[in-house]
Copies of this chain bind each other. A is one copy, B any other.
Amino acid sequence: MKALVVDDDRVLADVIAFTLRREGFEVILAHDGETAWRQWQAGEPNIVVLDVNLPGIDGFEVCRRIREQSDTPIILLTVRGEENDVVYGLDVGADDYVTKPFSPRQLVARARAVLRRVSQTAPQDAMQRAGGLSYDANRRELSTDDGKTHHLSPLEGRLIGYLMLNPNQILTIDTLIDHVWGPDGGDRDMLRQLIHRLRSKIEPDPAEPTYIETISGTGYGLNIPSESD
């Protein structure tokens, strides 16, 4: 499930992106109309979160162009009190809108509602695979290749989700902390503990980790036996 987030306020855009990623979306960012339009053409996303006030091409115009080519759900971000924006936005084809300021949770709920409405099909198959592992982000259940499934806590889920997105790579400690706790949370102790808890659930022998490798002084990596590549 791919989402395109467009807002010239980079901080806000990052917050939205973080929230959506945590909910299992793959997020592309853009900070102005032209970029947004190119990004949309490049990899057609499943949903667009679009600020109205943008440098260059404004949100309405982007919305109209997208609507000419596709039914991709579009959620507009408007400033409170600009009711005309909303009316106009829905007129040019937006599916829903959220007025700033809003809570990230609210936005996610809205996004899901729109996706549900537009595509009557199952909204999200948030299933990730990597080697013998498959992770269902909705249920937070991870299946190992020995057929067992383990229920993960929210943080464990975020961690394994990010690792499976970047298998066979070394991810630095700070990168991991950022992705699990966000910009202002988390320290090394917590990550160490989280890795420990995850290992104890998914490693056949936690003392000799198969999946999660430690690179001392740097970070961790998820080892996936390379199939015939």
Contacts and interface: CB of A to CB of B under 8 A. Distances in A.
Nearest to A112: B175
A215 B86 contact: no
B140 A218 contact: yes
Interface size class of chain A, counting residues whose CB lies under 8 Å from the partner chain: 35 or more
B221 A113 contact: no
Contacts of A1: none
A111 to B, nearest CB: 11
A217 interface: yes
A110 B148 CA distance: 37
A178 interface: yes
Contact of A83 (B80, B122, B213, B215): B80
Given A83-B81, A99-B90, A170 B109 contact: no
A138 B80 CA distance: 34
B117 A90 contact: yes
Interface in A174-229: 174-175, 178, 213, 215, 217-218, 221
Interface in A128-148: 138-140
Contacts of A86: 80-81, 83, 96
17 contacts: A80-B83, A80-B86, A81-B83, A81-B86, A83-B96, A86-B96, A87-B96, A87-B99, A90-B117, A108-B172, A113-B175, A116-B166, A122-B169, A138-B169, A138-B170, A138-B221, A154-B217
List of 3 A-B pairs having minimum Cβ-Cβ separation, nearest first: A138-B170, A81-B83, A109-B174
